[in-house]
Amino acid sequence: MRWLPFIILACIGIVLQTTVIYRVELSHGSPDLMFIIAVHYALHAVSPDAMIAAWVLGFLTDLYGPGRLGVFAFGFGLMAIVIVQLRDSMFRDHPLTWMFVTFIGAWLVHFMAGVHFIWVAYPHSGRTIIDVVLCATFTAIYTVVPAPYIHWLFGRFRGLLGLLPAHRLRTRRMI
């Protein structure tokens, strides 16, 4: 994995997330571009690099988001660990895999962040668990819509990003 293109991609991603995509909020949620990038790296980067990249993307989301520091970094990192452990049993270059992994991961991360928000960070906010479930569901749905296109685009620049094809990851696996 090449870190300079990752840093540039992360900077572009956080700028788009906080300016353009933030304004696309519909019915409790908006697409999470940073999570799509984290899923792509978790599916295609070497294990330690994938987990570090996902954690960094989550940390950037925490820095520029409305929540507390560390919630999304923990969630993105945990999802990267799960994806890295399960990716050998998936068709990593298939759009349905991208959509399924993105939907499940985004829902779980945003549900966890919402529960943290209403129970720990702001217990008197007036939000209920139903609001958290709706927000996580709409965010996951809105994140899945652009996911195949963004994964396809990143796949075209796999060499520039320093990501290996799926069949070469098995030989370079860290133990």
Mean pLDDT of the chain: 89
Averaged pLDDT, 13-42: 88
Task: Give, in order, the Cα–Cα distances in Å from 26 to each of 23, 92, 110, 140.
Answer: 9, 30, 15, 12
Averaged pLDDT, 169-173: 50
Overall CATH class of domain 10-20+30-163: mainly alpha
What does the domain layout of the chain look like in residue ranges?
10-20+30-163
Question: Higher-confidence residue: 111 or 122?
Answer: 111
* pTM assigned to the model: 0.89
Averaged pLDDT, 86-105: 92
User: Is 38 within 8 Å of 10 (Cβ atoms)?
Assistant: no
Q: What is the pLDDT of residue 51?
A: 95
Averaged pLDDT, 131-157: 94
